[in-house]
Structure formats: structure tokens, C-alpha cells
Amino acid sequence: MAERNQNPPYKRIATEEAWMPEEILNLYRKEIREKNIGEPGFHSLWGFYSSDNEIALAQNRRIVSLGEQRIADMDAAGIDIAVLALSSPGVQIFDPITAHSLAVRANDELAEGIARHPDRFTGLAAFSPLDEVNAGKELERGVTKLGLKGGILNSHTFGTYLDDERYWGIFETAEALGVPIYLHPNTPSPQMLEPFLSRGLDAAVYGFSCETGLHALRLLVSGLFDRFPKLQIVLGHTGEALPFWLYRIDFMHTRLSRSNRYAGAKPLQRKASEYLRENFYYTSSGVGDPKPIMYVQDVIGADRVMYAMDYPWQYVPEETAVLDNMPVGPDVLKAFYEDNARRVFNIK
């Protein structure tokens, strides 16, 4: 069995670690009881995690922690710093006015928790994606006033994807601030959910990756990065499988975009794979196997791949021991655990 390096020449920074304030968790429980919102994916996921089964109780005890519980778990896993973000679906199941007010309070609470443990925590700002007026303003406040390091977007909002240009103000703000947007999974939208749900494939086992990879490709194909060429998006789970499809994405998108087959898929300024290499960063969240991580390091670049555990959704304390022993050079390992995260999230 692999052993963790007890004195590594790097800090281990975990870059996709979920947090949720009690206020939002209680609102989720209320929604599960009352069923006011037509989001079947949410009800499937949080119906389980709002119950009193052993897994849910342990999960929720961890997810609300900004103190002793989380730090003890980090210590047990050998993690030095956690980049915290509002867990999926965040504020995105609420109407824009409610969602904005919840995001403001959540960001304030997260910043207070970070201030209590500045050597262990940093974080990303939540926002209401469909609030065209306030989304960018709250990201800017989170970064410039609260010291947060970017934004968290839990993929679709009521089946709406942000490739629609009316919502691009958030990306314009992120580019201007020089901070990334972490595109985190949500359960599949109502339009695509049923084939996943009936076999229990709607969440992390497969549905998350399909839904979030789709959102990432919609952003790319929309021309978002031609408009905002310095914008950076972070994808977890070794890129939601997209790095494994680079050749086919390039071949097929080039052909169909030149054919005028689809009004919404016009030629871009660069190949699709170039955007995936230059406008995206990737984390290992939920993938404790060195081989796919090393593949992404190879085809994308070791300077664009970061460590993440996906706590508390997938808390595996021995994971860092396995990844400490990845057969890569010491510079690549240090970049994976520390250097890339410090650069991307401006961690001093």
C-alpha cells in the first residue's frame, strides 16, 4: 500500500472542496418537503442527503464546517489548504432575487470562516447566474472586498446554460478581474435527466460529467473565448472526460462548423482543442487514479492540472498517499499539488 510523504517538498492544495451554510441546507430540506421547485435532479440528490440516513448525516456534518471538523479531516488526509466553494446546486434552484441575497450572505460567511483560518482555507464567490444585473457585481465584491479567488458556477440553472450571450457579463467581469470561474457539476437538467435517473446514473457516477462537459462545450462553441480570450474556466474530475476526446471534438466541430449545418455552431478563431488547452484548467477531484491524471497532464499540459479531493462528497484520506507516488517528476508533482493552484487562485 502506498505511503503518504510525511515531509513533502510541496503543500497539498485541494481545489474543489464543497461547503454549505446551514441556512441554505435548511432551505434545501424545506424544498424537499414542500416540492415547490420543478427540479427532479435536485430532488433525487438532496432527497437522499436531506434524510437521516448515516451517509447523509456524516455528509452534512462535514459540509457545513468551517472549523474543527473540516480541519481535522484535512489533517487526516494530509491536505494543507482547501479552496472552498458553495456546494451544488448552490443558490441556483432559487429565483434570482432570493438567489442573489443568499449568495451575498453565503459569501460573507465563507469570508469570515477563511479569516478565522487564513492558513488553511481560501474560497470562491457564489452568485446568481441568471441575475444579469447582480451576478458580476457579486463576483467583483467577493474578489475585491472579501478576498475570494474566483467564482463558482454549478452548471445549468433551471436548464439554462450560460452560452447565452445575455449572461456573459459574469465572464466579462471574471476576465477583467483576472480570476477563474469553476464550472462545477449539477445534476442533469430536466431536459436530459430521465435516462440517467431511472438507473441511478444522474449524479456523480455519470450524469454530473455528461451535464458539465456539455456546458463547457456549449461555452466553447458559442464563441465565448473569442470574445474573452483571457477568460479561464476550471473543470473538475479530470475535465469531465473532454481531454480524452480532443481529436474527435476537433475533427467533428471543424467539419460541422464549416458546413453551416447548425446556426449555433459557427467557425471559431482557433481549434476547439486549443481553447481546451489554453482557456481551461483541470482538477483531479474525485479521481484518485494516477493514470487519467497523468493522461491529462500529457495531452493538456502539466501546468494546467491541479489536485482536488471533492470533499466531503468523496472523502478518501488515503488518496494523497496514492498520488504522492505518481510516477512523474518532482517538478510535475509540485505543480500538481501546489504551484498551479497558487497561480490560478492567487494563493500567497
The pLDDT score that the predictor gives to residue 1 is 75
Instruction: Count the Cβ atoms, other than its own, within 10 Å of residue 12.
Output: 23
Model confidence pLDDT, tens digit, residues 234-267: 999 999 999 999 999 999 999 999 999 999 999 9
**Of the candidates 321, 202, 220, the residue with the CA atom closest to the CA atom of residue 265:** 220
Question: Using 50, 70 and 90 to split pLDDT, how confident is the model at 133?
Answer: very high
Residue-wise pLDDT tens digits, 312-328: 999 999 999 999 999 99
Average confidence score pLDDT of the chain: 97
Q: Is the model's pLDDT at 281 over the cut of 80? A: yes
State mean pLDDT over 116-126.
Answer: 98
Q: What is the pLDDT of residues 135-164, one digit of tens each?
A: 999 999 999 999 999 999 999 999 999 999
Q: Does the annotation mark 310 as catalytic? A: yes
Q: Are 139 and 104 in contact (CB under 8 A)?
A: no
280, pLDDT greater than 80: yes
Residue 2 has pLDDT above 90, yes or no: no
Q: Would you say 311 and 82 are in contact if contact means Cβ atoms under 8 Å apart?
A: yes
Helix and strand element counts for the chain (H, E): 17, 8
Residue tagged active-site, from 310, 324, 331, 339: 310
> Which of 2, 22, 3, 131 is closest to 87 using CA atoms?
22
What are the φ and ψ backbone dihedral angles of 208, each rounded to 5 degrees?
-55, -50
